Amino acid sequence: MVTRDELLTLYEQMAVIRRTEKAAHDLFLSGLVKGTTHLAAGHEAIAVGASAALREDDYVFATYRGHHHALARGATPEECLAELMSRATGLCKAKGGSMHLTKASAGMLGSYAIVGAHLPMAVGAAWSARLRGTDQLAVAFFGDGATNIGAFHEALNLAAVWKLPVLFICENNLYMEYTAIADVTAVPRPAADRAPAYGIPGEVVDGNDVVLVQEAVDRLARRARAGDGPALLEAETYRHYGHSRADPATYRPAEEVERWLKHDPLDLARGRLAEMGVPEEELTSIDERATAVVRAAAEAAKAAPAPDPAEALTDVWADGGAAWRT
C-alpha cells in the first residue's frame, strides 16, 4: 500500500501534468503552439501510477497523446513546452513536436502518431531485455481505438508466444477521435476482453485512481519480471478536452461529461490524502508549487530561441547528418 509521502509525490506529479496541459492549451490559443496537441488532462493517474510501479531502466512507449507519459518519466515541463513551441531547447530539438515527445535517457522511447504502431516495438524492447539477460520491462500505453488495429493483435500474440516481459496498458477513454469505441467494437471491454484469446491476463482498473493503477501495474510487472509473460491492463478514464485542439467534443452527452469530471484523478488522490490526515494547506501549497513550476517553465520556454534552420539537415543518420548521396 502506498505511503502518505509516496502519494504526495504522485499527487504533485499529477498536479504538474494537469497544469502543463492547461499551459499547452493556453499557449495554443495564443498562437504559440503550432500544429496540434492531444491533451491528456484526465489521464494523469495512468501515467503517474504506472511510472511509480516501474523501474528507471524500464522502457515506455506512448501515443501522440503522450505528454503525461513524458512528464511522468522525467521530462520537465520546460522541455515539453519548449518542444511544443518549436524552441531549440525542446525535448526533441523541436523536431518532434507534441505528438512525438521522447525522453530516451529516461527510458521513454517515444510517442507514436500511427495508431497501434508502438505495440510491437514494446514487444521488441522486452525481447531485447530477454536477449541481453536483464530483467527490464517494456510498457506500451495506447488508446481503446488501437485495440482494433492489426498491430495490437500481432503484438499480443508474439509477446504471449515468446512469453516476454511486456505490459500493454490501454487508456480507455471511451472515444477514439469522435466515435465511441462501443459503436465499433464487438466486445464491451475493447482491451481486456481480447486478452483471453491470446492466453494472457486481461484486467480492468479505475484509471483515474492513481493508487489502484500503481498497485495493478506493480503486480503485473512483478509477474512479467518473474518470467510469467505479458499482461493487458485496461485503465478506464476520460479525457477532459476534445480529441485534439480542433475538437470541442460536443458528441459527448452532458451527463456523461459531468459524471466523469466528478471522478477527477486529482480529486480522488486528494480524497485519499485527506483520509490519510494530510491537511488541506499542504495540498494547497503543492498546487501552488506546481503552478509556479509550470508558469516558470512556460516563460523560460517562450524566451528560448528558435532552432537553427541548419538543424533541419541533421539527425537523419547516426553520424548526425542527412546525406543520401556522395
Partner 1 sequence: MADLMVTQKAAAQRQITYREAVAEGIAREMRRDPAVVCLGEDIGEAGGVFKTTAGLFKEFGPGRVWDTPISEQAIVGAAMGAAMTGMRPVAEIMFSDFLACCWDYLANEIPKVRYMTGGQVTVPLVVRTANGGGLGFGAQHSQATENWAFTVPGLKIAAPSTPADVIGMMASAIRCDDPVIFFEHKGLFASKGDPAPPDHVVELGKAAVVREGADITLVALASMVPVALAAAERLAREGIDAEVVDLRCLVPLDVSTVLASLGRTSRLTIVEENPYQGGWGATLVSVVADEGFGLLDAPVRRVAGECVPLPFADALEERVIPTVDKVVTAVRELSAY
Ligand X SMILES: Cc1ncc(C[n+]2csc(CCOP(=O)(O)OP(=O)(O)O)c2C)c(N)n1
What's the Cα-to-Cα distance from 152 to each of 59, 180, 195, 229, 283, rounded to whole Å?
18, 19, 11, 16, 40
d(CA 58, CA 67): 18
According to CB under 8 A, which one of 52, 80, 122, 205 is a site residue for partner 1?
122
d(CA 302, CA 321): 28
Nearer to partner 1, 94 or 170 (CB): 94
How do strand 108-112 and strand 138-143 relate by DSSP bridges? unpaired
Can residue 155 be called a binding residue for ligand X (CB under 6 A)?
no
DSSP lists the bridge partners of residue 17 as: none
Q: Is 313 helix (H, G, I), strand (E, B) or coil?
A: helix
Interface mask toward ligand X for 108-127; x: CB under 6 A: -----xxx------------
Of the candidates 242, 318, 296, 235, the residue with the CA atom closest to the CA atom of residue 69: 235
At closest approach, how far in Å is the CB of 299 from partner 1? 22
According to CB under 6 A, which one of 86, 173, 214, 237 is a site residue for ligand X?
173
Considering only 3-11, 13-21, 75-83, 107-115, which stretch makes contact with ligand X by CB under 6 A?
A: 107-115
229 phi and psi angles, rounded to 5 deg: 90, -175
- Of residues 155-194, which lie at the interface with partner 1 (CB under 8 A)? 155, 157-158, 161-162
Q: Which does 143 bind (CB under 5 to 8 A by kind): ligand X, partner 1, none?
A: ligand X
Q: Which does 173 bind (CB under 5 to 8 A by kind): partner 1, ligand X, none?
A: ligand X
At closest approach, how far in Å is the CB of 208 from ligand X? 15
How do strand 166-172 and strand 231-236 relate by DSSP bridges? parallel
At closest approach, how far in Å is the CB of 93 from ligand X? 23
According to CB under 8 A, which one of 25, 95, 219, 302 is a site residue for partner 1?
95
According to CB under 6 A, which one of 26, 57, 177, 256 is a site residue for ligand X?
177
d(CA 273, CA 283): 9
Answer for the pair 213, 207: CB distance below 8 angstroms, yes or no.
yes
Nearer to ligand X, 235 or 283 (CB): 235
Residue with cell 522486452: 126
According to CB under 6 A, which one of 18, 19, 65, 100 is a site residue for ligand X?
65
Nearer to partner 1, 54 or 109 (CB): 109
d(CA 208, CA 47): 10
Can residue 199 be called a binding residue for partner 1 (CB under 8 A)?
no
According to CB under 6 A, which one of 79, 144, 209, 264 is a site residue for ligand X?
144
Instruction: Report the amino acid identity of residue 144.
Output: D
d(CA 175, CA 47): 18
Residues that bind ligand X (CB under 6 A): 63, 65, 113-115, 143-146, 171, 173, 175-177, 243
